[in-house]
Chain A
């Protein structure tokens, strides 16, 4: 290593508040907290369904209240933000040659990921609607 006196390495100016791209990345990472909350809500909801009609009605009441709807809307937006960014950058990963298997086209992977995401989301919505109604 060189013995030249140096000034310590500097972080990018303003870090994550300084640039929209960094801000998006930190928000993306922060959605991990949101996804944890979503998982807890799902667990509580499923648990209530197992406890009987009264518990289920109570959970539906909480989720259907103005505050519940507001929280759900926020969770939905955060989850969509996570999913879109994850699928957009994640499409690069499978586009690799694995042993004898040739690399798939990255655009095709991207399209298939979004088609799969939308299909599964719609299927879940339809299935849950059937249960709730």
Chain B
């Protein structure tokens, strides 16, 4: 029988808020016996299973794919399933994502994020839909390379928690949604750039970005939303001045 791995007692300070417990929040300390290969999500699950079943947090895949378990770890937005306990200074402070309203404990409300995603129309828009019998829309590898990076977003919202503009201007559409809009504008199959223009280049759009680059620093998928947002500034400026035949290239 295999020996149990050696554990280290690690101190966690976890943000707590419950609407039924009153308006305030507080920090609760837990000591968790952590094996060397544990990530913060393992420790949170241990707290919920073994110490305090009232703790609420979101998670699903445990492998950096679903984007559910984003939280502030020692003040930095991270996926808790990718943050190894052994790499973090103690006490490890775990809080809900910044710049989002908190529903309970470590769970944030994502309604505004979903609305912002929808506002950029993240789907292929065609002026005239092709009949099914005429086959699929073909695309070259170069055309795919042009936007593929920006389609790797897992909607984990770490970029929203890192964005200093969003902290002060909650109506700003934000990095992930703007990057997604840009991704579709760069897609050779799409003809919806003009439809997205008012949103992407509007009052709450790309021009609100002050290029802190924080969104790209924290992105766990290397999507580089700052690049997308700032390239969208360039393309929207050119679109506005109509200096280049943007649509003709597609």
Contact B17 A12 (CB under 8 A): no
Residues of B within 8 A of A13 (CB): 72, 75, 93, 95, 98
| Chain B interface mostly | mixed
Docked pose: A6 CA to B170 CA in angstroms: 15
Does B138 touch A at the CB level, under 8 Å? no
Known A7-B17, A93-B231, A98-B238; judge A12-B210 contact (CB<8 A). Answer: no
Residues of A within 8 A of B248 (CB): 99-100
Does B202 touch A at the CB level, under 8 Å? no
Does A4 touch B at the CB level, under 8 Å? yes
- Number of B residues with CB within 8 Å of any CB on chain A: 47
Binds A, one of B59-67, B80-88, B122-130, B222-230: B222-230
User: Which residues 5-44 of A sit at the B interface, judged by CB distance below 8 A?
Assistant: 5-16, 18-19, 21-22, 25, 29
Does A94 touch B at the CB level, under 8 Å? yes
Residues of A within 8 A of B99 (CB): 9-12
Residue in contact with B227 in the complex, picked from A5, A12, A95, CB distance below 8 Å: A95
Contact B101 A9 (CB under 8 A): yes
Report the minimum CB–CB distance from A70 to chain B (whole Å).
Answer: 30
Residue in contact with A99 in the complex, picked from B25, B93, B164, B245, CB distance below 8 Å: B245
Residues of B within 8 A of A94 (CB): 234
User: Which residues 89-103 of B sit at the A interface, judged by CB distance below 8 A?
Assistant: 93, 95-96, 98-103
Residue of B nearest to A91 (CB): B227
Contact A25 B224 (CB under 8 A): no
Residues of A within 8 A of B146 (CB): 97, 103
Residue in contact with B212 in the complex, picked from A10, A15, A25, A102, CB distance below 8 Å: A25
Contact B224 A92 (CB under 8 A): yes
Contact A7 B214 (CB under 8 A): no
Contact A92 B162 (CB under 8 A): no
Does A132 touch B at the CB level, under 8 Å? no
Contact A4 B109 (CB under 8 A): yes
Contact B111 A10 (CB under 8 A): no
Chain A interface size range:
35 or more
Contact B230 A92 (CB under 8 A): yes
Known A22-B164, A89-B211, A93-B233; judge A10-B102 contact (CB<8 A). Answer: yes
Report the minimum CB–CB distance from B209 to chain A (whole Å).
Answer: 11
Residue of A nearest to B248 (CB): A99
User: Which residues 233-247 of B sit at the A interface, judged by CB distance below 8 A?
Assistant: 233-235, 238, 244-246
Most buried by A among B95, B101, B162: B101
Report the minimum CB–CB distance from B100 to chain A (whole Å).
Answer: 5
Does B19 touch A at the CB level, under 8 Å? yes
Residue of B nearest to A8 (CB): B101
Does B204 touch A at the CB level, under 8 Å? no
Contact A9 B98 (CB under 8 A): yes
Residue of B nearest to A98 (CB): B244
Residues of A within 8 A of B72 (CB): 12-13
Contact A18 B75 (CB under 8 A): yes
Known A4-B103, A6-B102, A7-B101; judge A98-B213 contact (CB<8 A). Answer: no
**Measuring CB to CB, which residues of chain A are less than 8 angstroms from any residue of chain B?**
1-2, 4-16, 18-19, 21-22, 25, 29, 89-90, 92-103
* Extra pairs beyond A2-B111, A7-B25 (12, CB < 8 Å): A1-B111, A6-B109, A9-B98, A9-B100, A9-B101, A12-B72, A12-B161, A12-B167, A14-B75, A89-B211, A98-B235, A99-B245
Q: Which 4 pairs of residues, A with B, have the shortest CB-CB distance?
A: A6-B101, A92-B227, A7-B102, A96-B231
